[in-house]
Structure 1
């Protein structure tokens, strides 16, 4: 049942997980491969067993593979620390997924700009 503010408990848990993971990655994670990472969304299963953590980065495609490996290698540490910070019955397994929506948005914007420029009278 939605609360008075319109957010379900799951929505609040997802937002807290995203916030805590962002802090952990920024302040606690020592893996040099994981840098310039922004968490864009978290999706959690109804039983809280698994969480998809969507991220984006300003690093190039060559560094993205390293960042992905670093995040996957750090998932156990991040899950343990998350369990200490977030009070839920079961701390979810973390699955990191690259979010290409920012990249795709930039490409679409460039295509629109090029189309507008080509439509201008010469």
Structure 2
């Protein structure tokens, strides 16, 4: 049995709540395209939640999505607080997760080497 600290558990619950919010289409801002919530990091005092998301698209589309998410912060904050049943409503910050793109780039480079070397 693994033990998790409270901020990690709350982060997981916030991630699930955000996934439900996105899957139901409750964020109606057209700037927010198809995004995936890759993780949530919550401060030890549960007052700040940094939400990491990933998406495919151009840098301009990423910028527009970031603007849409920033505009929806208040709505997301209220919805998450209600869904997770927290006493204190955490301030939410959205950050683009570069790790998915970097992993894809590494995978592509390894495939090129494998094809070139004939592995």
TM-score, length of structure 2 as denominator length: 0.89
- Farther off after superposition, 58-67 or 100-109: 58-67
Q: Give the match for residue 115 of structure 2.
A: 117
Rounded Cα–Cα distance in structure 2 between residues aligned with 1:45 and 1:7: 14
User: 1-side partners of 2:71 and 2:16: how far apart?
Assistant: 20
Deviates most, 79-88 or 41-50: 79-88
Runs of 4+ in structure 1 over 3 Å off: none
Q: Which residue of 2 aligns with 1:18?
A: 15
Distance 2:83 2:115 in 1: 51
Q: How far has the Cα of 1:65 moved from its partner?
A: 0.7
Size of the aligned set, in residue pairs, is: 118
Cα distance, 1:70 vs structure 2: 0.3
CA distance in 2, matches of 1:42, 1:24: 15
- Which stretch shows the higher mean deviation, 17-26 or 31-40? 17-26
**Partner Cα distance (2:118, 2:35) in 1:** 39
Query: What TM-score comes out, normalization by structure 1 length?
Result: 0.87
Distance in 1, matches of 2:93 and 2:63, equals 15
In 1, distance between residues paired with 2:59 and 2:81? Answer: 31
Match of 2:40 in 1: 42
- Secondary structure of the 2:82 match is helix
| Mapping of residues 30-109 of structure 1, within 5 Å | 30-109=28-107
Structure 1 stretches lacking a partner, 5+ long? none
User: 1:17 deviation in Å?
Assistant: 0.4
Note if contact 2:8-2:42 (Cα within 8 Å) is conserved in structure 1.
no
